[in-house]
Chains A and B, each alone.
Chain A
């Protein structure tokens, strides 16, 4: 029933320079997939293409449920979400930021409030809920981004370098959040990081991108 992704022969160029070359992978099982590799290797591009934010130059991204392909429409986009490295915080309270995904789905009132409060608790930001989202530290901002994504209960959660610009304390909190998601049978997580040790700590499946070429590091757990 859970969504999977079949990425086939993805190629992407920026200004004529190849960023991704014939990358293919099948995200079938739930769990935490970590894409790692040096800066500029194409991890984020791969993630953006896989999450349907950006089209590839060639190749296909097909989502499937029970082996049946799912059309790439708004309904599908509402079953997945991507947290960008620069989260894109609205000039509103933390609470309203997190409630946004619910609001656009027509979920309001007590139901929305309960979901937002749960998400806030999960990312340990309950004490900041009435604060303007733009006033948070970079680590808290990433946690806000994760809460904003989790509140809409995605089946696949893409995280693009969530710990790249945060301090060690927040980095550990984010790792704990990801592990807690896994423990609570949360969404499939597909995450990029250039931190190899973090990749080793979190990954069920490790993927490596080097010079635009994707290779599977294998199942780790």
Chain B
């Protein structure tokens, strides 16, 4: 019990002193996950719009696949990317393995189905009367689609935040493709795993507290955004 309390107090001291190593790890985590999320959003939103507005063969199959991929095991994604990027793999010539770029690719693959699938759900949940109302006011098909996306904005923002939650907490994929190299590919989750293994709980706990705080902030943001969207509808 005493050692836990001691570890906690040392962890808090690390956070309060903004230890340099801690700072670097946090910034890299935010950089990797933030970039992955932006990439997943840039790819995911047009896909969700396409699935929401167009009818084409295999549309149902793609939606089912996206829903399934929302639960992709990170280690499986990590292994897949590893095989692609390893020296003997088809993309080995890019020399991306054990770089932050490889970690971003892995996290993008993990976040993309979440952003695309949840955004699609938000778009198709918009009352069909919005389409008709826009049409009666002389909107072009593109303007109608934009009006619907605007109505789905709270759901889309929730989808992006859910994607962020997924990548910030992820460890398996980035550990495999990033290699957890100190000062280069070491992020919060991989450091926690490693430091715990080493029995060095202070840093692991400090990062755990920060990760939990970030997770709490993400969930709070999600809660308020959803509340705002629902309030608009129910008021």
Contact = CB atoms under 8 A, between A and B. Distances in A.
A175 B129 CA distance: 24
Contact of A135 (B129, B135, B136, B235): B235
A81 B137 contact: yes
A101 interface: yes
A105 B138 CA distance: 8
A82 interface: yes
B151 A91 contact: yes
Interface stretch (B52-60, B139-147, B167-175, B179-187): B139-147
A53 B138 contact: no
Contacts of A91: 151, 154, 229, 232-233
Contacts of A105: 138
Interface in A78-126: 78, 81-84, 86-92, 100-101, 104-105
Given A53-B132, A84-B132, A90-B130, A100 B137 contact: yes
Interface string A26-70: 000000000000000000000000010100000000000000000
A152 B151 contact: no
A100 B147 contact: yes
Contacts of B138: 74, 77-78, 81, 101, 104-105, 152
A42 B136 CA distance: 19
A104 B143 contact: yes
B190 to A, nearest CB: 41
Interface string A127-167: 00000101100000000000011001000000000000000
A57 B19 CA distance: 74
B137 A148 contact: yes
Nearest to A86: B129
Interface residues of A, number: 26
Interface string B211-235: 0000000000000000001001101
Contacts of B21: none
Contacts, number: 62
A87 B129 CA distance: 8
Nearest to B139: A104
Contacts of B133: 84, 87-90
Contacts of B147: 90, 100
A162 B44 CA distance: 40
Contacts of B132: 53, 84, 88
A51 B229 contact: no
Nearest to B135: A53
Contacts of B143: 104
B87 interface: no
B127 interface: yes
By CB atoms of chain A within 10 A, which of B132, B138, B139, B235 has the most?
Answer: B138
A86 B129 CA distance: 7
Nearest to B137: A101
Contacts of B130: 88, 90
A84 B137 contact: no
A84 B232 contact: no
Contacts of B136: 51, 53, 81-84, 149
Interface of A: 51, 53, 74, 77-78, 81-84, 86-92, 100-101, 104-105, 132, 134-135, 148-149, 152
7 contacts: A53-B136, A81-B138, A84-B132, A87-B133, A101-B138, A134-B233, A134-B235
Given A84-B136, A89-B133, 6 more contacts: A77-B138, A88-B129, A88-B130, A91-B232, A100-B137, A134-B235
